[in-house]
Structure 1
């Protein structure tokens, strides 16, 4: 079972924006307090992360954007089952939320099928979607975390310290395995590691091979010269005409910074207008298509272009191709996260956002841009959107911990030798 992405963007009745903001903010604060007065989020079994965000009314030059409600979830299994669970767990609250949206049927509160049709009507595809642990369900993550915590409790028990002191690594592993076998309700039977597909293995071996692959690339490059040359010239011409955008710092919702850097995990919602013209549209969609392919078949082992702190991320093109919406669920601080962008993935991400307005000056699509650290961070902040509701099913676990837990549980049934036992214990 793999994890998937759902994005729903619905128009809001303009005179209901403040009321909807108040309701969603109340729900968002309720998650933190764990009272779950509106929605019992803990009853959701298929959801890793979800959020509701109001995309405010906006004027970009001659362009007007009406207020919209964006919902995104990262979920396990088929979409139909996910929607049915959302409605079953939070039906009344969902009906109230979407009653502020234009076109919401009056009977959604009493009809699951009507509600599903309404949400599907405004569903948008992801132009690129990244998952750090694509084949591990919410239940896998929770079960593996419970196993690791049980092992830690065993090792930290003062009453066992004398018995465990002086044991060799392989002997200590055997004692841990014996103890786990006596603990009720621990799920140890599933194989927590999922094999890679043939395509995944092929793409990974190809991406990790030495640059001797140029022997294959040169003929293709020669054949593509008639296309590449005019494309490069057009790109250079476009970039030479890109104008600096006025700063919008004062327009940033002051609540944005208040919801950052206080948990193991944090989130970011980012919305920016795409540069006009078919050339930019084609370039953006091509780059996002490449990222989506690599995220599915290569960057599926816990890092996106060298960034090891992102759980899920996606880019969605909205408003008929006029704006680019970005959702990310990540570990650590905002500063560290943006720093990872700059240090590890500046080329790929510049390839995306160089096609949007206000992005720091780029060269040849992929270069400069994000490496201008001060301007990049300010541009990111300028286009962030306050997230009213954000939920994580495993909020205390980093990507690194989740993947280490997979490695721990993968060896629970194995008789480990000395070196293997040492490496296994280090994962704890």
Structure 2
């Protein structure tokens, strides 16, 4: 199974090029609809990408210290990081040159080649603190192939009359059709999908039980000495910057998928820092061992998500690619994993009032939604390799592929046909 990985670049922008960089990003955004999209597609391994300029005033709250303007690039890709960066600077070097010559220290024109470009980009990489993949183990190629297979089977079913045919007979007919098409020969190879790592989960639970004498006092200390003194978000959405909200909403619901970019200031002190790192470790463990079947905390709409601590852990960036609307996405989080959201984000400045680390916070829906919108920033360029596919589609298409070639019972064959 191939692995999907994240890349985040945080590159300082030349002060004399900020306006020019904004113009380039706007042109790239338009270009995604008129050709640039095809250049991204040529990489063959890139699921999602985004660019935006991060400024000090991008943060709703006062930053821990003055910040320079920086160009942020993030991507979700198949395979190794070195190969990915090599692909970026090889397939469309002129685009990266135009962007990054607006950044400090980019190689001069006469010094630019694949190696110097790679070296420059790698220099500004920042580590990902936690990373979630909605369809782990599925390469971009596999996702697109299985989408093609599903459409192929759907067309056959729609064009024929199946009166009097059993589900097993229909499955057999479909299999014969696919078997006769050499372009679909790849589908005969069964693919493995990740399963829950129960030994890993049991080990985690045992460790949590052992650590309870530390965890419980820690949560009590947080409540009595930190949470009760916090300044909390009391704003509602009607009090937010109307212009920013309109600009954010203008980029939403253009496709079946949306994106979310959030920048936050961390609460000061070692207690908060230790808390957020412990929770990120907990999140990474759950993601690796348990959330491997297309749902994060019961939410079946998230393709990729990542948390990135930057500036010596003083600030945080959160990126997500998801299905459906912004409001539906966040309300799903509130309903199904409000405690998880609260545990992590209560360590950021001005989060809604929290009690005992995991209660309050996100469950205060009115203030949480206002906080979420207020800390969201514009994503100036966003690319998706498969706008039309939901995470449910992707997971379902893999099941269709595997079940097409299996010996099924009549009941199983009926379920197989429903998937199509």
State the TM-score, normalizing by the size of structure 2: 0.92
8 Å Cα contact 2:4-2:78 kept in structure 1 = yes
What does 1:156-175 align with in structure 2 at a 5 Å threshold? Answer: 156-157=158-159, 160-161=160-161, 164-175=162-173
8 Å Cα contact 2:234-2:367 kept in structure 1 = no
Structure 2 CA distance, aligned partners of 1:320 and 1:226? 26
Q: Cα distance 1:226–1:47, how it changes in 2: closer, same or farther (>3 A)?
A: closer
Structure 2 CA distance, aligned partners of 1:279 and 1:264? 41
Aligned equivalent of 1:255, options 241, 247, 267: 247
8 Å Cα contact 1:316-1:325 kept in structure 2 = yes
Q: State the Cα deviation string for residues 240-290 of structure 1 (Å, max 9, x = none).
A: 110135858228364211111221111010001011111111111111121
Q: Cα distance 1:275–1:134, how it changes in 2: closer, same or farther (>3 A)?
A: same
Q: Cα distance 1:234–1:396, how it changes in 2: closer, same or farther (>3 A)?
A: closer
Structure 2 partner of 1:194: 193
What does 1:389-404 align with in structure 2 at a 5 Å threshold? Answer: 389-404=381-396
Aligned equivalent of 2:99, options 87, 93, 97: 97
| Structure 1 residue 190, shift from structure 2 partner | 2.6
Structure 1 CA distance, aligned partners of 2:254 and 2:395? 22
Aligned equivalent of 2:210, options 213, 220, 235: 220
Structure 2 CA distance, aligned partners of 1:108 and 1:237? 58
Structure 1 CA distance, aligned partners of 2:256 and 2:215? 47
| Structure 1 residue 217, shift from structure 2 partner | 7.7
Matched, 1:203 2:200: yes
| Structure 1 residue 334, shift from structure 2 partner | 0.5
Structure 2 CA distance, aligned partners of 1:9 and 1:152? 44
Aligned equivalent of 2:366, options 352, 368, 374: 374
Structure 2 partner of 1:210: none
Aligned equivalent of 1:239, options 224, 227, 252: 227
Matched, 1:266 2:263: no
Structure 2 CA distance, aligned partners of 1:174 and 1:61? 62
Aligned equivalent of 1:68, options 58, 67, 70: 70
Structure 1 CA distance, aligned partners of 2:210 and 2:191? 41
| Structure 1 residue 203, shift from structure 2 partner | 3.3
Structure 1 partner of 2:314: 322
Structure 2 CA distance, aligned partners of 1:189 and 1:84? 32
Count residues with an aligned counterpart. 411
Question: What SS does the corresponding residue of 1:359 show, helix, strand or coil?
Answer: coil
Structure 2 CA distance, aligned partners of 1:129 and 1:21? 28
Structure 1 partner of 2:115: 113
Structure 2 partner of 1:15: 16
5+ long unaligned stretches in structure 1: 208-212
| Structure 1 residue 63, shift from structure 2 partner | 3.0
Cα root mean square deviation, aligned: 2.3
| Structure 1 residue 108, shift from structure 2 partner | 8.6
Structure 2 CA distance, aligned partners of 1:397 and 1:217? 38
Structure 1 CA distance, aligned partners of 2:345 and 2:178? 49
Aligned equivalent of 1:182, options 161, 180, 189: 180
5+ long unaligned stretches in structure 2: none
8 Å Cα contact 2:13-2:103 kept in structure 1 = yes
Structure 1 partner of 2:141: 139
Structure 2 CA distance, aligned partners of 1:309 and 1:4? 19
310-319 vs 408-417, which deviates more? 408-417
8 Å Cα contact 2:63-2:265 kept in structure 1 = no
Structure 2 CA distance, aligned partners of 1:244 and 1:108? 53
| Structure 1 residue 85, shift from structure 2 partner | 1.0
Structure 2 partner of 1:35: 35
| Structure 1 residue 132, shift from structure 2 partner | 0.9
Q: Cα distance 1:179–1:34, how it changes in 2: closer, same or farther (>3 A)?
A: farther
| Structure 1 residue 291, shift from structure 2 partner | 0.6
8 Å Cα contact 1:56-1:68 kept in structure 2 = yes
| Structure 1 residue 220, shift from structure 2 partner | 2.3
Structure 2 CA distance, aligned partners of 1:108 and 1:301? 49
276-285 vs 244-253, which deviates more? 244-253
8 Å Cα contact 1:341-1:349 kept in structure 2 = yes
Question: What SS does the corresponding residue of 1:177 show, helix, strand or coil?
Answer: helix
Structure 1 CA distance, aligned partners of 2:299 and 2:258? 15
| Structure 1 residue 106, shift from structure 2 partner | 1.8
| Structure 1 residue 79, shift from structure 2 partner | 0.9
Aligned equivalent of 2:350, options 338, 350, 358: 358
State the TM-score, normalizing by the size of structure 1: 0.90
8 Å Cα contact 2:135-2:395 kept in structure 1 = yes
